[in-house]
A and B are shown apart, each in its own frame.
Chain A
Amino acid sequence: MAEIPTSRIDVVDLTLKYGNDTVLDALSLPIPRGKVTVLAGPNGCGKSTLLRAIRRLQTGQTGHILLDGIDIGKLGAKELARQIGLLAQSPNAPPDMSVEELVRLGRYPHQAMMQPWSEKDGAAVLRAMDGTGVTSLRQRHIGSLSGGQLQRAWIAMVLAQETDIICLDEPVNHLDMAHQLDCLDLVAKLNRENGRTIVLVLHDLNLAARYADQLVFVHEGRVRALGRPEELMKPELLAEVFEVDAAIMTDPVHGRPICIPRGRARLAADKELNAVA
């Protein structure tokens, strides 16, 4: 695909500083409609902060974030929550909350204050639980669930929000391999079947390459590269952004690039230092 279709979200010149630290540095990024965008980068590059900013959880930044051309700062909190859903990085809820109670939380943006629970809400909750396969778990306490089940329950909550755009902040970090794939396959399905726009922050580069339509390398608060995984998974780029010396192959099963790290990349500056020492 040569062109990127119209973007739903546009990040324009976003800058965020904590004291003397510049976390986001005049960062600009389009989030294409109906595609899976994955933000990847080394620790501290600002990818999580960027995601939070997109969802308007950060304050103190300059620049603009546009949703369908409108600055998100102009939207009300609930209105924004009806457009963009977020699965936070380490979401937490009381262990004795039931799955159904958790999923119901997702309906909050759709309810006015004293408006009673409607059929529409109930249907959305059921659909969300169905779509993530947790209906059979609805009465269980979330503290009794396995990691994979718990994550699906959280995704169900986000689904119940019925947003077109879903952001997930490192959703698979703590899961074992099978559940990582479960979770990401689910996300991919949501994208395929409903055309939802997905923004994912992933730590694992190979997973990122496997699931992304648009892959974004974030480095030191800026977008270093963006495009299809095949375009970004190149040894020089990996060495620069991730400081990793890797060989790139094409995954025979999925046809996506994978990287096989050889070791740390010796950047030019490092090489000189080592020569002297």
Chain B
Amino acid sequence: MNLTVNINIESIHVASALSVPRPISLSRPSRVQVYVGLALLLALSMLASLTLGYKVYSLDQVFTALFAHDGSETSVVIAGLRLPRALIAPLTGAALGMAGVLVQTLSRNRIASPDTLGLNAGASLAVVVAGIVLGVQSLAGLAMAASLGAFVTAIVVFGIAAGAGGLSPLKIVLVGVTFASLSHAFVEVLLTSNEAMLQQLLFWLSGAFVDRPIGLFYTALPVVLVGGIVAVGLSRALDALQADDATAQGLGVPLGLVRALAFVAVAILTGAAISMAGPVAFVGLVVPHAARRLVGLRHIHQLPAAALFGAVYATLADVAARFVIYPVEAPVGAVTAVVGAITLVVLLRRRAA
């Protein structure tokens, strides 16, 4: 049999392990099973986040603390310290997961993610600038700064990468990396001029859910919801966008408009995530791959699956971060960076075959 596959030089697609010819239908769990499974996993992870840590608490201690408010030390730790984390982590993971799906579809590149586009860096820079230079203290202010930073970076990156020659993956990555370097440079300047904040900021700059006031969760929640709704609304158009431009246009997809809206969704989702937790590395890279494996390519499923899986992933990473260098807490970004980097390397090597 003659095996020919159309390969568009402009876009790089991952040849997944499942692309070996199979005469039988794929044995994939039904979508309902996937969603229920992930939801259960999420509940369990959140429970783990509440119980495990420097001190391990039992389940009824947790419930008492949450609902009885007896003012005991246990209560303070659980309600004041662990609960915010247990809420912020999944929300951040969900936001980044969805942003990752959007970025990978938009750039037709399975290795792109909000980080490699420099969005993380841009948003962090905005937060650092707002916090140190402009003296912004309010949560809402910092959250807005993060979103704005992500948005501006996204515009610049896509604008430069799109340029006159079209969205080539190489250019997107290069521009993103450059942006990240530039942003880090500025952050370094600001940090060295404000040494007192250095260690604190270093921790935050790696992405962390710890020591975050619960107010951040409430501020970011509506933003993430809006971003998610916009993204889901674009599902069908995004499905078509996975094919080449001519085909998508031939189907009547308004390319420019869809891209712009998806873009905005990426920016606000990433911005919200960063305002809560700082730049958590590679979540937006890893999660979409898992989501696609579980539910297929249709965005109406990819997006919720990515949100659920992202939430689970971030929460579990947060729990792991408490134990990697026990008794000291590692920033969760370090954990996700290592996992993400390994995933990236595996993805890259697999493509070679």
Q: Is the CB of B249 within 8 A of A146?
A: no
* CB-defined contacts of A76 to chain B, threshold 8 Å: 252
Tell me, yes or no, whether B19 is within 8 Å of chain A by CB. Answer: yes
8-22 of chain B: CB within 8 A of chain A: 8, 11, 13-16, 18-22
Q: Is the CB of A97 within 8 A of B297?
A: yes
Size of the chain A interface, CB-CB below 8 angstroms:
48
- Indicate whether A77 sits within 8 Å of B252 (C-beta atoms), given known contacts A86-B247, A88-B247, A95-B13: yes
Minimum C-beta distance from B147 to chain A (A): 25
Q: Is the CB of B8 within 8 A of A108?
A: no
- Indicate whether A108 sits within 8 Å of B19 (C-beta atoms), given known contacts A91-B6, A113-B233: no
CA distance A99 to B236 in the complex (A): 16
223-243 of chain B: CB within 8 A of chain A: 233, 236-237, 239-240, 242-243
280-301 of chain B: CB within 8 A of chain A: 292, 296-298
Minimum C-beta distance from A86 to chain B (A): 4
* CB-defined contacts of A146 to chain B, threshold 8 Å: 1-4
- Indicate whether A139 sits within 8 Å of B26 (C-beta atoms), given known contacts A98-B296, A114-B233: yes
Q: Is the CB of B22 within 8 A of A111?
A: no
* CB-defined contacts of A145 to chain B, threshold 8 Å: 5
CA distance A254 to B76 in the complex (A): 88
Tell me, yes or no, whether A55 is within 8 Å of chain B by CB. Answer: yes
* CB-defined contacts of A98 to chain B, threshold 8 Å: 26, 296-297
Mask of A31-57 contacts with B, CB within 8 angstroms, 1/0: 000000000000000000000100101
178-236 of chain B: CB within 8 A of chain A: 233, 236
Q: Which of B2, B242, B247, B253 contacts A94 (CB 8 A)?
A: B242
Which chain A residue lies CB-closest to B26?
A139
Minimum C-beta distance from B2 to chain A (A): 5
Q: Is the CB of A140 within 8 A of B22?
A: yes
* CB-defined contacts of B5 to chain A, threshold 8 Å: 95, 143, 145, 147, 150
CA distance A112 to B20 in the complex (A): 36
Tell me, yes or no, whether A101 is within 8 Å of chain B by CB. Answer: yes
* CB-defined contacts of A93 to chain B, threshold 8 Å: 242-244, 247
CA distance A88 to B250 in the complex (A): 8
Minimum C-beta distance from B194 to chain A (A): 46
- Indicate whether A139 sits within 8 Å of B3 (C-beta atoms), given known contacts A92-B8, A111-B236: no
CA distance A85 to B313 in the complex (A): 42
Most buried by B among A57, A97, A150: A97
Tell me, yes or no, whether B25 is within 8 Å of chain A by CB. Answer: yes
Most buried by A among B5, B15, B253: B5
Q: Which of B2, B16, B239 contacts A101 (CB 8 A)?
A: B239
Q: Across the A-B interface, how many residue pairs have beta carbons closer than 8 Å? A: 130
Tell me, yes or no, whether A210 is within 8 Å of chain B by CB. Answer: no
Minimum C-beta distance from A182 to chain B (A): 12
* CB-defined contacts of B22 to chain A, threshold 8 Å: 140, 144
Tell me, yes or no, whether B7 is within 8 Å of chain A by CB. Answer: yes
CA distance A161 to B22 in the complex (A): 28
- Indicate whether A143 sits within 8 Å of B19 (C-beta atoms), given known contacts A105-B240, A108-B253: yes
Q: Is the CB of A52 within 8 A of B246?
A: yes
* CB-defined contacts of B252 to chain A, threshold 8 Å: 76-82, 108-109
Which chain A residue lies CB-closest to B298?
A101
Tell me, yes or no, whether A196 is within 8 Å of chain B by CB. Answer: no
Tell me, yes or no, whether B163 is within 8 Å of chain A by CB. Answer: no
Tell me, yes or no, whether B254 is within 8 Å of chain A by CB. Answer: yes
Which chain B residue lies CB-closest to A93?
B243
Q: Is the CB of B237 within 8 A of A90?
A: no
122-148 of chain A: CB within 8 A of chain B: 139-141, 143-148
* CB-defined contacts of B21 to chain A, threshold 8 Å: 140, 144
CA distance A147 to B3 in the complex (A): 6
Q: Is the CB of B2 within 8 A of A148?
A: yes
Tell me, yes or no, whether B156 is within 8 Å of chain A by CB. Answer: no
Q: Is the CB of B4 within 8 A of A174?
A: yes
Tell me, yes or no, whether B342 is within 8 Å of chain A by CB. Answer: no
Which chain A residue lies CB-closest to B24?
A139
Tell me, yes or no, whether A231 is within 8 Å of chain B by CB. Answer: no
- Indicate whether A144 sits within 8 Å of B19 (C-beta atoms), given known contacts A57-B246, A105-B239: yes
Minimum C-beta distance from A7 to chain B (A): 21
Q: Is the CB of B246 within 8 A of A108?
A: no
* CB-defined contacts of B292 to chain A, threshold 8 Å: 96
Q: Which of A81, A92, A94, A114 contacts B250 (CB 8 A)?
A: A81
Q: Is the CB of A91 within 8 A of B251?
A: no
25 A-B pairs whose Cβ atoms sit less than 8 Å apart in the complex: A57-B249, A76-B252, A77-B252, A77-B253, A82-B252, A85-B250, A88-B250, A90-B244, A92-B247, A93-B243, A94-B297, A95-B15, A96-B292, A104-B239, A104-B298, A108-B237, A109-B252, A140-B22, A143-B19, A144-B21, A146-B3, A148-B2, A150-B4, A150-B5, A150-B6
The 6 A-B residue pairs with the shortest CB-CB distance, nearest first, are A81-B252, A147-B4, A86-B250, A88-B246, A143-B19, A139-B25
Seed contacts A82-B252, A94-B297; 16 additional CB < 8 Å A-B pairs? A79-B252, A85-B250, A86-B246, A88-B250, A90-B244, A91-B244, A93-B244, A98-B296, A101-B296, A101-B298, A105-B239, A105-B247, A109-B251, A140-B22, A144-B22, A175-B2
